[in-house]
Chain A
């Protein structure tokens, strides 16, 4: 058994532990006993049967996964906010997360002083309190409930929220919040937003704010509906998929300028830090960029097995920080699957699209979206139950414009800080480009049967992923050649026009113990 396999096995068991414990409550003490016995047996076996020993040692990681969930869940004692659900209370607290501005209200996450836990408050639309402000209010606290099939309590629990306040009374601002880097960044974000608002016409400005600053809620509902009907919603969200594609574009842009892979990778990191600070270090964006980086790393190392290990590590680290993401955060699941798609389907799609020109990173963008989408699709069908037939066409028409929109968008903000009239010219161009995107989506969304509802049961999704797995683990000649390339650097290579390597030397395959 190879070392990397052992590590993968342990990491996966850790994730399985989190998964199981998120769904069912287990008597952990009893489980710990079982694990201890397992370890004792494993140690005594170690000399004679290493494989069995390692298999048994895995139970430690299974246990650690479960234990992490347990330690993350709050201790419900008499001071916990859950006890106040159903009662009218008067409380004071600080706004602990960036206010989430919705269509009809603003969501404030408030850290209550007296008991030190968070409550979600539905504030009136035009109440404009800022992160860190200290507010006093009176409110009837309520426990979150399922919204149709959606597990709202679980969704909130992963943010540490167990109480909601729907109609706060007598809100009063007691104190301005402290100035921290985070509040400063969010203030800057408002500046950037107002530059966009002043230079780009509505609703193009809302779209731009959504893709640059993560302010998706501002986009009018009818436009959001169009995007989901044409299967292009991922463009508007700061999702793992979106960031993977974005990083990929920048990566291939620097590569085409003749910069080495490593240096281009560093530029991607710098860009992502800039981008995430633009959004104000929102945790979902940070998570998305972790996955984005792994996706690019997959392109750099170009070896699926190693990339998959990095992806596993990334997932485990994120789950160590917040284990509830695994089951309750769809964005986490989709990001993970998208990167998995890049890793395993990327090469295959590269071959399929080899006729498409490489200019402006067109081919790379296409390869990345297709490989990610194909992998994400079964899960989307299971979770949301809609299938957009025109999605490939819509993506093909819209995607090539996206790098230009993003690039000009950043230029707009930078120029807008310097001199607004100059930014206005770019704003006019952006308005044109984004209007094109909106028009295409509006047109395609009108097509009858464009958006089918096709619900996939869980077992259906699992079966499809099994088929994917079979496809991935099919041993192929290409992989063998690649391995040899890496193992034996002196092998002669002929570089063809599009940089694919052909090994010319005849190699004795037996020599390499494949």
Chain B
């Protein structure tokens, strides 16, 4: 009787180990996944390249991001690139626990001065863990090797070295990046204001995007008409939760609709996931 138990448990262990190894090996799909996490009032976006690399942009206001990462990459403990657009707590807080739990290979950050406990703790962990620290200055590019065609991540802003600078409004320092794969483009804007939008346009880069992450939870201080004209997004994603700021602004929603974008809100839809197949087809997953 006892021996039979022993064998059953032994076989179970072997099966579990095999499944675990198998899942780890085969978790690469050959498509690009872009997920806008529903983390309440705040930003957190996740990109998994066809080559199996993980990019995390911002972490939201609490630990919800951990739950989301567990859902999309349950057996992977590496973040290849972590981007902090700017140090406000609704962007940085979730990243603290991500740093503690995952192997983060490198971070991309502006280095702007901000003295909240969350941001200082985040910086502290990066220092203690000796994580590679990249200064975001446009123009710069990351190329993620993938089967077929590489995924390109292009930094559009900040356009100068902001390290050690203290700004009246750190939203103005938001790292803005464009990710492209098979001619499909995703634009991530952090919390940039319309002033910064005009600056980015003035640099003359091609801003046409298939999917636009609407800046600053759809606040009416961002998403100017000129910027929307330059980006002409097919989809406009607004990551937003319950808040007292009146986000997203009704005026901005109208403006986006007039531009012809389909509006997707995380407070209405939960996580919003796009895939780009190896044939270059953009799919919004339901």
Q: Which residues of A contact B (CB under 8 A)?
A: 124-128, 194, 197-198, 201-205, 220, 424-425, 428-429, 431
Contacts and interface: CB of A to CB of B under 8 A. Distances in A.
Contacts of A204: 70
Interface string B172-209: 00000000000000000000000000000000000000
B98 to A, nearest CB: 10
A128 B124 CA distance: 11
Contacts of B16: 425, 428-429
11 contacts: A126-B120, A197-B100, A198-B77, A201-B66, A201-B74, A202-B69, A202-B101, A205-B101, A428-B16, A428-B74, A429-B16
A502 B205 CA distance: 91
A203 B69 CA distance: 11
B20 interface: yes
B96 interface: yes
B67 A431 contact: no
Interface in B5-52: 16-17, 20
Given A425-B16, A428-B20, A431-B74, A203 B66 contact: yes
B71 to A, nearest CB: 9
A428 B73 CA distance: 12
B105 to A, nearest CB: 15
B117 A126 contact: yes
A277 B121 CA distance: 28
A125 to B, nearest CB: 7
A129 B101 CA distance: 21
Contacts of A205: 101
Contacts of B101: 197-198, 202, 205
A128 B100 contact: no
A198 B63 CA distance: 15
Given A201-B69, A202-B70, A424-B77, 8 more contacts: A126-B121, A197-B101, A198-B77, A198-B102, A202-B63, A428-B16, A428-B74, A428-B75
Contacts of A124: 117
A220 B70 CA distance: 15
Lowest 3 A-B CB distances belong to which pairs?
Answer: A202-B66, A126-B117, A201-B70
Contacts of A201: 66, 69-70, 74
Contacts of A198: 77, 101-102
Contacts of B102: 198
Contacts of A220: 63
A126 B16 CA distance: 38
A425 B14 CA distance: 11
Q: Which of A125, A126, A128, A204 has the most CB of B within 10 A?
A: A126
A22 B120 CA distance: 46
B175 to A, nearest CB: 22
* Chain B interface, DSSP helix/strand/loop, else mixed: helix
A205 B69 CA distance: 13
Contact of A203 (B20, B67, B96, B121): B67
Contacts of A202: 63, 66-67, 69-70, 97, 101
Q: Which of A128, A198, A202, A203 has the most CB of B within 10 A?
A: A202
B220 interface: no
Given A202-B66, A428-B75, A194 B118 contact: no
Interface string B80-121: 000000000000000011001110000000000000111011
Contact of A128 (B17, B97, B121): B121
Contacts of B75: 428
Contacts, number: 47
For this complex, into which size category does the number of interface residues on chain B fall? Answer: 20 to 34
Contacts of A127: 117
A204 B100 CA distance: 16
A127 B116 CA distance: 10
Nearest to B120: A126
Q: Which of A198, A201, A204, A424 has the most CB of B within 10 A?
A: A201
Contacts of B121: 126, 128
A497 to B, nearest CB: 13
Interface string B120-131: 110000000000
A237 B69 CA distance: 27
A122 to B, nearest CB: 13
A124 B119 CA distance: 13
Nearest to B121: A126
Contacts of A203: 63, 66-67, 70
A197 B67 CA distance: 12
B117 A425 contact: no
A197 B96 CA distance: 13
Contacts of A428: 16, 20, 74-75
B17 A425 contact: yes
Contacts of A126: 96, 116-118, 120-121
Contacts of B74: 201, 428, 431
A127 B115 CA distance: 12
Contacts of A197: 97, 100-101
A397 B20 CA distance: 26
Contact of B117 (A125, A429, A431): A125
A428 B24 CA distance: 11
Contacts of A194: 100
Nearest to A194: B100
Q: Which of B70, B96, B100, B118 has the most CB of A within 10 A?
A: B70
A205 B16 CA distance: 19
A221 B10 CA distance: 37
B213 to A, nearest CB: 24
Nearest to A256: B2
A220 B67 CA distance: 11
Contacts of B117: 124-127
A203 B194 CA distance: 38
Nearest to B77: A198
Contacts of A425: 16-17, 20
A325 to B, nearest CB: 33
A429 B63 CA distance: 22
Nearest to B74: A201
B88 to A, nearest CB: 14
A203 B62 CA distance: 13
Nearest to A429: B16
Contacts of B63: 202-203, 220
Contacts of A128: 121
A129 B48 CA distance: 37
A429 to B, nearest CB: 6
B23 to A, nearest CB: 8
Contacts of B120: 126
A125 B93 CA distance: 11
Nearest to A422: B17
A460 to B, nearest CB: 40
B252 to A, nearest CB: 30
A240 to B, nearest CB: 30
B65 to A, nearest CB: 9
A204 B63 CA distance: 13
